[in-house]
Amino acid sequence: MSKKITFLILSGPTKEHIDPVRYISNESSGQMGSALAEAAVKKGYDVIFISGPAKVLPKYVKIIDVITALDMFKAAQLNFKKADIVINAAAVADYRPTKISKHKIKKNCTTSVMTIKLKQNPDIIKYCGENKHNQVVVGFALETKDLIKNALLKLKNKKLDLIVANGIGTFNSKNSTVSIITSNSILEIKNRSKNIIAEKIINETIRVFKNIKSCKVNS
């Protein structure tokens, strides 16, 4: 009996605290990641689901809760080898403060400017792309300009098998327009629900995964 295909799906935003009450984050609701997990489960696949503090979480899936980008990176590393397909639908903070204040930072009345030093977070999807072994790795590209161009660069530079390109209008929206991109194809899906888009993404990743397996067997 063949092994059931396992998805590792990352979802939601991350929070990078500045002090106990303030943090750096973004508008990701977790809708797409949750839709992907539910679509995969409905098709009979196993799902490992890692989520930042999202507004929307999937049903029928055990959730690994994380807060920061470092938390998400460590959880992804721990579960990476268990997965056949990795999809990073999370909106991970690229940077985090170099120091977190133990107490709330008080307003300084002598200056109107406050400087916060940041350092780069680990690139989770790049790690997966560079360390994959007969696995399919899928990223998302959210851009405000040159969407397809930037998505293709990310696909190549991070050694991804597939990337989903979408505009900023996808945040907190039930519908979205995306392009599902591989090295030799672009499938555009216009103004459809995230559930429908998620199903199409799952189908495309399975197609790519089976193609990789077939090439390995025939080589």
* Yes or no: domain 6-218 corresponds to CATH 3.40.50.10300: yes
Which tokens hold the place of 64? 């690994």
Least confident range from 54-68, 129-143, 151-165, 204-218: namely 204-218
Which tokens hold the place of 202? 């799952």
Asked if pLDDT for residue 67 goes beyond 90, the answer is yes
Q: What does the mean pLDDT of the chain come to?
A: 93
Among this protein's residues, is 26 annotated catalytic?
yes
Asked if pLDDT for residue 217 goes beyond 80, the answer is no
Q: Mention every residue, 6+ apart, whose C-beta is less than 8 A from residue 49.
A: 9, 11, 33, 37, 58, 61, 62, 63, 64
| pLDDT level of residue 1 (50, 70, 90 thresholds) | very low
Domain map (residue ranges) of the chain: 6-218
Asked if pLDDT for residue 195 goes beyond 70, the answer is yes
pLDDT tens, position by position, 88-147:
999 999 999 999 999 999 888 777 888 999 999 999 999 999 999 999 999 999 988 999
Mean pLDDT for 155-165 is 97
Q: What is the CA radius of gyration of the chain?
A: 18
Q: Kindly name the residue from 26, 79, 175, 195 that is annotated as catalytic.
A: 26
pLDDT computed for residue 212 by the predictor: 81
* CA–CA gap between residue 214 and residue 210 (Å, rounded): 6
